[in-house]
Amino acid sequence: MLSVLIAIVCTVIGVVVGAWVVGARRQSNPPRREEQTSPAAPNAGVARAADLGRAGIAQGRDTLRRCLEKVNLPSKDANASENLCTVVDTNVLNGRARIGRQPKGDSWQSVLIVDICGTIQAPDDGHEVGLEVKLADVTDDKANPAPALSRPKHGSITNVIPFVFQTSMGKLYSQTTVLEDWTAVAQISPDWFVLPRQGRRELQYTLAVVSQSTGEHLAETTCTAPYESIETGYLDIEDNIQRAKTLAVGLAFTVGAANDALQETEIDIIHGWVATNFGSADASEAAQLELERALRKTAAFFLRGGHLNVQEICAEIVQIAPMVGRLDILDLCLRVAAAKGQVTQAELTVLKNLAEWLQIDRNRLRAMVEKILPIDMHRTQDAEIILGVTTEMSQDEARHQLNREYAKWSSRVISSDPAIRKQADQMLNLLANARTQYVGVKPSGD
């Protein structure tokens, strides 16, 4: 696993050879939370989805290594089938799938229509049967298809079960039923499932006619059909998470090098974050040393005056990471700034820019600074990031903001925690100076 960490850290160095962007960007629009029909499915499908997620991450990390080594390999296009299943032997069950439309409010929506024909052998006449349909994506690996997952009504798709569509087909009047013509037996809405990848995909449909009384599969078949997925897949989302974390390493080093110096404590913070987020508990001593060398090589790049296009990196993160992920990245950067026990104006400027480019509200940044970078760490007093006042504010706006800060900190001077009392005293002194600068009066004049 530690080789993964080395590849991630080395991505930062890869920017020197123009290899910063190593993968296709994917939009991280979360799936719509709508109704679904999906009963429980075998645990093997869940395990398969998890294995695919890990395999996708590993594949992405291999790409990072190739970029670092300046190896250009041709991309492999998906070879999606364009044909419906048209070979029919009526002695067995056959299936095919196609795209149809059904009304949805004042408009129409696309649906997957499943047709069957051929023979169904039941235990007896008048037997109640149902249809079961499972979906899988075989675009990238036909031998190991990636299952479609049931769309959750609420929350994320983590630990969601594989999608299984079930519906009643009624009674078979004869023990042996032969459907000589294609018969539509199911309409499946895309709102009910989530595919692993976005774009043009080849879906495999596994169809089974099931006894309603025993659950026995009376007839089974599979078919494939092309499908255009317009939303981000669950493996795409996992790739985006890993990509955002990889980019975060570069931002963290940028903060640490804001004063043209990197200290051991700052590198240790980054090292620990990488190990926590990508896992290295099983790493050998040799692998640990290899990671250490990679980290120091990255640090040397910044110490030599190397710079990243931080605004462009932040723009990519905004596209692929939700707010919670961006807040985690900013938290890392704040902890790097705090690692040496004091924070400079240069670091505060970088942090303010990061918050703006990551589209994190300035008040949220101030709350995080207050927690991670208390006032006694500041070598300079930046009233904007500490108190929330700016030179663009009118006197009334500045007075209102300073009054709110005064009410907050004046109540803390009697705290039982000595550290809080000390910080409150420092903040009240800073407030007094800020009133003179931004409002033109001292606190006693309120």
CATH of the domain at 286: 1.10.3680
Domain end marker among 186, 216, 231 = 231
Pairing type for strands 149-150 and 193-194 reads antiparallel
pTM of the full structure: 0.66
What local confidence, expressed as pLDDT, does residue 432 receive?
77
8 A C-beta contact, residue 254 and residue 350? yes
Instruction: Identify whether residues 278 and 332 lie together within a single domain.
Output: yes
Instruction: Identify whether residues 370 and 385 lie together within a single domain.
Output: no
What local confidence, expressed as pLDDT, does residue 3 receive?
54
Domain end marker among 378, 401, 416 = 378
CA distance 305 to 299: 10
What local confidence, expressed as pLDDT, does residue 29 receive?
41
What local confidence, expressed as pLDDT, does residue 280 receive?
56
Residues spanned by the domain of 179: 93-231
What local confidence, expressed as pLDDT, does residue 208 receive?
97
| Number of domains composing the chain | 3
Give per-10-residue mean pLDDT for the chain (446 aa): 52 43 36 40 49 52 41 35 60 95 86 96 94 96 94 72 94 93 94 94 97 95 95 92 90 89 88 78 69 78 86 95 94 93 88 93 86 80 72 77 79 82 78 74 50
Q: How far is CA 295 from CA 1, 12, 70, 315, 387, in A?
A: 16, 10, 20, 25, 36
Instruction: Identify whether residues 226 and 334 lie together within a single domain.
Output: no
- CATH number at 441 reads 1.10.287
Domain end marker among 323, 349, 378 = 378
Instruction: Identify whether residues 237 and 308 lie together within a single domain.
Output: yes
What local confidence, expressed as pLDDT, does residue 54 receive?
53
CA distance 441 to 446: 8
User: Per the domain annotation, does 308 fall within a domain?
Assistant: yes
CA distance 224 to 177: 24
DSSP code at position 340: T
C-alpha neighbours within 13 Å on the C-beta side of residue 329:
32
Instruction: Identify whether residues 374 and 386 lie together within a single domain.
Output: no
What local confidence, expressed as pLDDT, does residue 271 receive?
86
